[in-house]
Structure 1
Amino acid sequence: EVFRALAPHALAAPRFPVLLLPAAAAAATFCAVLAALDGGVLVAAERHPPRTAWRGLLTRSLGPHLVHGLAGLMMAVLWRSAYGPPAALLVLLPMCLSAWVFDRYHRERAAHQATIRALVQAVDIKDRYTRGHSERVGRASVMIARELGMPDDRTEVLRFAGILHDVGKLGVPTRLLRKDGPLTPEERRVIELHPEYGHEIVRGIGFLGEARAAILHHHERLDGRGYPYGLSGHQIPEFARVVAVADAFDAMTSTRSYRRARPVPA
């Protein structure tokens, strides 16, 4: 409709429809090269498994780059039309709107990251023995997710779950978290409330999605002897099972107040 209103002479030119095919081919080629390079970086620098490194990269970038390529072609056609450069500048309006939406998305993402960092720092300050534990569990959860072939959007939420799995310790008395030696049964029962405290803390944070269930259930056990609800097997959410494995591994390989770290091979 924009072409019909602003550039009837350009539409009538026989060369314009012919230009659509090479313009689309150029945009698709650019997307393919970009996806190949992105996947190579993920494999080489971030140790992604090759079978999943390129998954979804091409399809995610194809749409935006085809739209931008079409916008560039529209600007070129309008520029060469009888209406000249002023008509071509109208293409910039939707492009500016697109840039604004993109900027808002990244600002929102940065706000999410800041919220998570603040919560993790609060836990680390309160429980000095597990400082850095949350970040390590987040990284280990991502490694497991990649081996399972989870899509990137779920992997990102799972990372949040791993990082925030112990946020409920903010509701546990500091003297219990820093106690040297074993806990009494009463003290252990208080500690075991931290998944429910954590779920209450993050319940209103919408972007966490499935991560909230992982925070609540990461101490359930497959045999049903875990807490807080004694779920078993596949009753336990998938995210909670992944975080439980990552949490247990990091706990066993870290020095705590009540025991020394076990070697990784063991």
Structure 2
Amino acid sequence: MKPAFLLVCIALALPACAVDSADLPDDDAAESDLTKNDISGFFTSYGQPDTGTQGHIDNLHLRKDGTFEMALMGEYGCDVYAGYSCPSTWNDGRTGRTEVKGTWKAGASGVTLQPTGEGRPSAPIPLTIKVRAGSKLTVTGTIVPNRKIGAATMDGEVRYGKAAKVTPQDLDGTWKFVSPVDRDGDQQRLNGTLIYVRGYEHVVRFDAAAGTVREERVENGRWPRAPKYPDSFTVGAVPSGTGPGVIVMQSRGGWPDTARIVSFGGGKMSLDVGGDAPILLERQ
């Protein structure tokens, strides 16, 4: 096997995914490598030279429970085939993107993405994934009707196949945001946006047993009514393997938001969500 990367090929019946057998390890080696280098995680590809081109994969979420989500440029099987949808806005109509959901599985010779849901039966989506040094992927494949898709470089936001030092049980309970409030009265939220907090308590509650997270602005200790569909959360590893872990939060029908845990201990936690300064929290 080439030392620079692990080659994972989705060996399906579609000819566009054919790979020279000389590039593949034998079955025993492939199974061992797939087990050792579990590729489950959340990967993004923004700001790359191929971003915005037809077939470019923006997001790829391979969950540990065997489900997946993928977003790519172009319109494919819009709301006709099972698992396919094409988002739209009220003013401008379709956005020119396709979102695909379903299940995925890994075997000795590769991975299969199988779109599922309402609509006509969908064919599997073949991808060839090169797991390179660090946390980067190169992804190529085909989607119906035999169109090429992929991304030259996808960055790993979180990896589920590696052990995180902080677990969901460690986060369980209520935490108060103690980051400095800016001159407009705002604090940064876990999804990177701002919320006005002057005169309020800005808190987040993690429920490890239910796997849910709820971030609120609380007045006089009174929490707003609980949402019908609370956001889910889990914790994965930093792709580089260093650091306490990454919190992954997702709303119903939305895409994941990630918060990298910078420090954790003594009832305090700091998180990096891409802002100018870390978010600071204290356990309540």
TM-score, length of structure 1 as denominator length: 0.23
Query: Radius of gyration: which is bigger?
Result: 1
Higher helix share: 1
Choose between structure 1 and 2: higher strand proportion: 2
Q: TM-score, normalised by structure 2?
A: 0.22
